[in-house]
Structure formats: structure tokens, C-alpha cells
Amino acid sequence: QLTPETQEPLLLAKKNGLSTPANGTQYDVNENYDGDYRFAPIEEAQVSRAMIKRYFNMMYERAVSDVVIVGAGSAGLSCAYHLAKSRPDLKITIIEANVAPGGGAWLGGQLMTPMVVRKPADRFLTELGVPFEDEGAFVVVRHAALFTATVLSKVLALPNVVMMNATAVEDLIVREDHARAQRVAGVVTNWTLVALNHDTQSCMDPNVITAPVVISATGHDGPMGAFSAKRLVSTGLLKELGNMRGLDMNRAEPAIVNGTREVVPGLIMTGMELSEHDGSNRMGPTFGAMMASGIKAAKEAMRIFDT
Ligand code: AHZ
């Protein structure tokens, strides 16, 4: 049956002397690489609508989410994987400012490819099926991108997860609960290209997504990093930033994992953003704490939903 959507391209095609077969038609296709490769025909507008319909339906549906994860670096993605697998009933929406998700986890340290993961966080690699070399106290993944690409592909394949990349969280929704206490109740988003241009254009208002749980995983301070930690200070919900301290792998990794928590009602913080919030050390190029902190953040979110 022709819907207006399928009918219109047909009319258009006829007018232009082209013929676009309706859905269900047997197409004259040919997967022949010797000079006769033939694609099924298409109207350009069908491509636009195939994307627009799905993307805007997704935005419509996810305007009310159960969990928003801000930032798809190693901590945010580890969190998303554990949470989405453990709670398939939760609508998990990931907002990533960059076009490419993955944060700093496409490389190890100093732009070198191997990724070091201290034990026992290697168990997460085993769960994902990422191969590694065992060096005793730690393991090494041949290429950091092998971890990032694997966790990213597994997260995106989960039916309860959606990701909007090239989209920045530029504010938090902060409401008063019955006891007049402040709680984070969602995020304010904009296309990143817009978020970066508020000083050059007037009135480019954002969009909102409400969620009872927001998990912030925006990394340490940088052009966009430590977003929620900094916003908590400017909204008066946090007195001051702790500021990330110098490198000490042995202190930094357990501090990040054990410090992963709901820092303000409705807002869980994970990964290196916590070092800015709490004033803990950085660990440099060891990624076990990012994975374990992400998993802990997922457990914190489940605890909130269970109480
Ligand atoms: O683009 C950012 C990145 O992908 C994204 N992000 C930041 N601000 C955002 C915003 N809205 C949406 N306002 C935003 N997305 O957050 C992601 C952060 O990833 P990351 O790799 O920077 O942080 P992480 O905590 O997952 O991993 C940190 C890895 C580090 S840093 C470090 C050190 O400096 O010593 N050591 C390790 C292991």
C-alpha cells in the first residue's frame, strides 16, 4: 500500500521521466564486479526522509529518557555497556559533543597505539572479547582503537541505547524537589557547531532531554571537558572545583573508581571528570580505572532505580 511518503517520490519520478518502483518490487540489481554492477533505483528525497524520519522520531522519543550519559569516552562507553546490558528496560541516551565518539581512547599514551589496563579491570576486556597480552600486574591491548571500536559497536547494537553525536550538552536541568532540595533532572543540548558559536550568532536556543538520572563522563578540563563539574560550580551546587592533581597512577586509579558516585541528586559522575570535581590525581595512560569507574557509575544508576 502506498503511503504519501512512498507515493510522492513516484509522482516526482514520473514527472521527471524516471520510474521508481514501489516497495515490494523486484529490482533489477546485479552484484557483478566485472562492469555490470547495478543498484536498486532511488529518489534522492527518499534518502533524506529515511534519515530524517528515524533521527527525529528518535529525538522525539528520547526527549524523555531514563538515563542520559554525557560523553562517550572510555568511561561513558563502559558505563553505557554495563548499564544497558544489565537493565534492558531503561532508555539510555548518550550525548557526545564530538563527531567521533571515543574520547581519548583511540590511542594509549603520547599518541602511541597500545593501551595499558591494570588488573583486575582486564575482566571487562575479557567480557567484551578484546584480546590482550598479559604482563602480570597489567595487560596490554595491541591497539587502543580495538577496545574503543569493540565497546562502541557493542553499545550501539543494544536496542535500548541511542547516541546523538556532534551534539553537546550545554546546560543541566536543575529542579527543586518537594523538600526544596536541588536535583539534576536532565540536560540541555545543542548541535556542537551551534554550541561553539553562541558568541557569534544571536538567539540559538537549545533543546532539552529530561531524565531522572544523568551520568556525566566528560573527561578532565579541556575545550568541552569537565562540563558538569564546572557547571555545578557556576550554579552554586558545588562550592569550588577540586582541580585535577599531578600524575600518580597508584593513587589516581582507585580514587577515581571508589569516588564514582551521585555527586548531586540525579547526577552521577564518572571517569576523569571526577578528578576535577574531587581534586584527585591523574593516572596518565592506564585505562582500567575508566572501565571500572564506568561500571561503578552503571551500578550507582541501578541503585537509584532500585530504591
Ligand atoms: O567529546 C568529549 C569526549 O568524547 C565528550 N564531551 C565533553 N564535554 C561534553 C559535552 N557534551 C557532550 N558538554 C562532551 N559530550 O566527553 C568525552 C570524554 O572522554 P575522555 O576520553 O576525555 O574522558 P574519560 O574520562 O572517558 O577518559 C579519560 C582518559 C584519561 S585522561 C588521563 C590523564 O590525563 O591522565 N588518563 C586517562 C586514562
The secondary structure of 155-180 as a DSSP string is HHHSTTEEEEESEEEEEEEEEE-TTS
Question: Measured between alpha carbons, how far is 278 from 160 in angstroms, rounded to an integer?
Answer: 31
Structure confidence at residue 1 as a pLDDT band (50, 70, 90): very low
Query: Which ligand 1 atom is the nearest neighbour of the CA of 74?
Result: 26
**Least confident piece of the model among 3-7, 116-120, 134-138:** 3-7
In the block, cell 586509579 appears at 253
Express as a percent the part of the chain with pLDDT over 70: 92
Assess whether the C-beta atom of 79 lies below 6 angstroms from ligand 1: no
Residue 282 counted as domain residue: yes
Grade residue 12 by pLDDT with cuts at 50, 70 and 90: low
pLDDT surpasses 80 at 215: yes
- Residues 217 and 81 sit within 8 Å (Cβ to Cβ): no
Residue 20: per-residue pLDDT? 54
In a domain, residue 94? The reply is: yes
Distances (CA, A) of 11 to 14, 17, 43, 49: 5, 10, 11, 16
Residue 101 · residue 72 · CB < 8 Å: yes
Q: What share of the chain is helix, strand, coil (3-state, %, to 5)?
A: 35, 20, 40
CB-ligand 1 contact for 218 (6 Å cutoff): yes
Report pTM: 0.94
* pLDDT at residue 6 greater than cutoff 80: no
Q: How many domains does the chain have?
A: 1
Greater confidence, 19 or 209?
Answer: 209
Residue 75 belongs to domain spanning: 66-306
- What digits encode the pLDDT tens for the residues 141-186? 999 999 999 999 999 999 999 999 999 999 999 999 888 899 999 9
Interhelix angle for 144-157 vs 74-86, to 10°?
40
| CATH number of 107's domain | 3.50.50.60
95 lines ligand 1 (CB under 6 A): yes
Give the chain's mean pLDDT. Answer: 93
Q: Which residue has the cell 571500536?
A: 149
Q: Is residue 7 part of a domain?
A: no
Q: Ligand 1 mean position to 30 CA, how many Å?
A: 45
Look at 34 and 223; give whichever has higher pLDDT: 34
Ligand 1 touching residue 211 (CB < 6 A): no
Strands 115-118 and 167-176: unpaired
Band of pLDDT at residue 201, cut at 50, 70 and 90 = confident
The answer to whether the CB of 290 is under 6 A from ligand 1 is yes
Alpha-carbon span 77 to 126, nearest angstrom: 16
- Ligand 1 centroid–CA 295 distance in Å is 16
Question: What are the phi and psi torsion angles at 133 (to 5°)?
Answer: -100, 135
Q: Is residue 100 part of a domain?
A: yes
Give domain status of residue 177, yes or no.
yes
**Does 169 appear as a known binding residue?**
yes
Residue nearest to atom 7 of ligand 1 (CA): 218
Q: What is the pLDDT of residues 250-263, one digit of tens each?
A: 999 999 999 999 99
Looking at the CA of residue 102, tell me the nearest atom of ligand 1: 4
- Segment 301-305 shows an average pLDDT of 98
> Cα(270) to centroid of ligand 1, in Å?
10
* Residue 32 maps to a domain: no
Any known ligand binding at 272?
Answer: yes
